[in-house]
Amino acid sequence: DVKVTQSSRYLVKRTGEKVFLECVQDMDHENMFWYRQDPGLGLRLIYFSYDVKMKEKGDIPEGYSVSREKKERFSLILESASTNQTSMYLCASSFTAGIRLPREEQYFGPGTRLTVT
């Protein structure tokens, strides 16, 4: 079974703090994604990576950065947390083989609920 793990299930941080969210997958997947989930807005893509040290902006990258130094690990960084970044953060991974595209079957972690006060 594919396993995507996220470092914390719940996190409470103060405004202005630097926040690191970690994600690890154990299936040697090339592609990794960070989403945020908000009621009524669905899942919105923040950043994705299709290879080590590669990253692409998603739909809402402002206020976030990412790091992918190893294939299995993808980190989301909030440089200076703000209250509007209070949300559920979901990490996902997928593999590319042959004609498969990164968009196909994404495997999600359980999420990190971040509260910024």
- Binding residues (CB under 8 A) for other proteins: these are 4, 31, 33, 35, 39-45, 48, 50, 56, 58-59, 90, 92, 101-111
Q: Whose Cβ is closer to other proteins: residue 37's or residue 67's?
A: 37
Q: Whose Cβ is closer to other proteins: residue 15's or residue 35's?
A: 35
Q: Tell how many helices (H) and how many strands (E) occur in the chain.
A: 0, 11
Smallest gap from residue 116 Cβ to other proteins (A): 21
Determine whether 41 is exposed, middle or buried from the number of CB atoms within 10 Å of its CB (0-12, 13-18, 19+). Answer: exposed
Smallest gap from residue 88 Cβ to other proteins (A): 10
Q: Whose Cβ is closer to other proteins: residue 13's or residue 113's?
A: 113
CA distance 29 to 113: 24
Determine the longest span between alpha carbons in the chain, in angstroms: 46
Smallest gap from residue 40 Cβ to other proteins (A): 6
How many other C-beta atoms can be found within 10 angstroms of the C-beta atom of residue 77? Answer: 14
